[in-house]
Chain A
Amino acid sequence: MARGKRHRVLPGFGLTCGYTLTYLGLVVLIPLATLFLKTSSLTWVQFWTTVTSERALFAYKLTIGASFLAALVNSVFGLIVAWVLVRYRFPGRAILDALVDLPFALPTAVAGISLCALYAPGGWLGGILQKAGVQVAYAPLGVVIAMVFVSLPFVVRTVQPVLADLDQEVEEASASLGARRWQTLRRVVFPSVLPSLLTGLALAFGRSLGEFGSIVFISGNMPGRTEIASLLILTRLEEFDYAGATAIAVVMLGMSFGMIFVINVLQTWSRRGAV
Chain B
Amino acid sequence: MDNGAGAMKKLSLWPVIAVIIPLLALAGLVVEKERRMTQGEEVVLPIVGFDPRDLLSGHYLIYQIQYNVKNLCKKISKQSENKIGYVVINPPEFQTWEPTIGQVFIKGECKNGNFKAGIERFYIPQEHAKILDEVIRGKQGKIVLSVFYDGRAQVKDLLINDKSWSIFLEEQKNEMLE
- Do A and B belong to a common assembly? no
A contact set with B: CB distance below 8 Å: none
